[in-house]
Amino acid sequence: MSQGAAIDHAPPARLGRRLSAMLWRRPRWAAAALLVPPMGWFVLIYLAALVTLFVAAFWQVDDFTGEIIHRWTLRNFETLATSPTYRTIALRTVGIAAAVTVTDIVLAFPCAYFMARIAGPKLRATLFTLMLLPIWLSYIARVYAWRLILAHDGVLNWALGEVGLPPANIGYTNIAMWLVFSYIWLPFMITPIYAAIERVPGSLFEASADLGARGLRTFTKVTLPLVVPGIIAGSIFTFSLTLGDYITPVLIGGTGSSFIGNVVYANVGIANDIPFAAAFATIPAVVMLIYLSIARRLGAFEML
């Protein structure tokens, strides 16, 4: 009895030790205990949501009351396939996402190269801060700022007038959207390209120079091939972020500026036609799936 009392002094420690001993003896249980919370999260929040989305795409909505009817139909996909409106919107979304990605690659490469290869540590830190500073501001605030810049009586037209040029009047157009998207997602392109360039050993450039290659040759034969995975990694950000956006088209776009996201938003938040929204939402999901599988082939995932 006295022995038992002595041990009873620290029951939590005993329980803990027992548990750890048991898990040590059965490593599978330990693995299961570690995996259950993240797997549960993954299944419930992520996969269940995705499956719901795909299942809902085959339902339809009562015309008048707006209630969802749980009856299988291909009507939503039929509408999508046959209507030129939705085809135009899908193509516009993908087209602008691609244009933004290309623009950002062109703009980001020199910046990243300068920061990684030419700038000293102090200048590099300053440039990094400057590049990342806008991200600290709310996305909405930056988009609204562009609205004021591009408005008819805005900063851009005023500046053009001051130097004697005709007004640009690009407010509320697809050009304005392209500009704003390119600005907003630029840091997401610079960072991975910078990381890729920094990883290239300096000795490779020296070797290239020793073998008689000039600047352009070194760039096309050494730098670019080694940096491509970084570019692809950055393009995943710029492409997918533009593809999924629906705020900038509302605030910056004009007529004929709807994105897939806007149609989805209008059908969920406004029309309450969730099945149709789900059907349309499968398009960017499929586009991204194809894009990611190509990116994976090109080795971009090692740069993330």
The binding site for other proteins (CB under 8 A) comprises: 35, 39, 42-44, 47-48, 50-52, 55, 61-70, 79, 83, 85-86, 88-89, 147-148, 151-154, 169, 171-172, 250, 254-256, 258, 263, 266, 268-273
Residue number, 86 or 185, with CB nearest to other proteins: 86
Question: In whole angstroms, how close is the CB of 55 to other proteins at the nearest point?
Answer: 6
Question: In whole angstroms, how close is the CB of 36 to other proteins at the nearest point?
Answer: 11
Question: In whole angstroms, how close is the CB of 20 to other proteins at the nearest point?
Answer: 24
Q: Name the residue among 208, 154, 213, 201 with its Cα closest to residue 179.
A: 154
Rounded CA separation 90/73 (Å): 22
Buried (b) or exposed (e) across 78-106, using 16+ Cβ within 10 A? eebeeeeebeebbebbbebbebbbebbbe
Q: Which two tokens stand for residue 117?
A: 């290869």
Q: Which two tokens stand for residue 147?
A: 């609205």
Residue number, 8 or 67, with CB nearest to other proteins: 67
Measured CA angle at 228 (ends 301, 125), to 5 deg: 85
Contact (CB, 8 A) for 146 and 176: yes
Residue number, 126 or 144, with CB nearest to other proteins: 144
Residue number, 64 or 136, with CB nearest to other proteins: 64
Residue number, 72 or 136, with CB nearest to other proteins: 72
Question: In whole angstroms, how close is the CB of 286 to other proteins at the nearest point?
Answer: 18
Beta-ladder partners of 69: 60
Amino acid at 56: A
Residue number, 153 or 210, with CB nearest to other proteins: 153
DSSP states of 134-187 as a string?
Answer: HHHS-HHHHHHHHHHHHSTTSHHHHHHHHTTPPP---TTSHHHHHHHHHHHHHH
Residue number, 185 or 276, with CB nearest to other proteins: 276
Question: In whole angstroms, how close is the CB of 221 to other proteins at the nearest point?
Answer: 37
Residue number, 10 or 33, with CB nearest to other proteins: 33
State the Cα torsion 36-42-45-51 to the nearest 10°: -120
Question: In whole angstroms, how close is the CB of 30 to other proteins at the nearest point?
Answer: 15
Name the packing angle between helices 174-199 and 121-136 (round to 10°): 140
Name 280's Cβ contacts closer than 8 Å, sequence gap at least 6: 76, 80, 86, 260, 263, 264, 267
Question: In whole angstroms, how close is the CB of 67 to other proteins at the nearest point?
Answer: 4
Rounded CA separation 119/209 (Å): 21
Contact (CB, 8 A) for 291 and 185: no
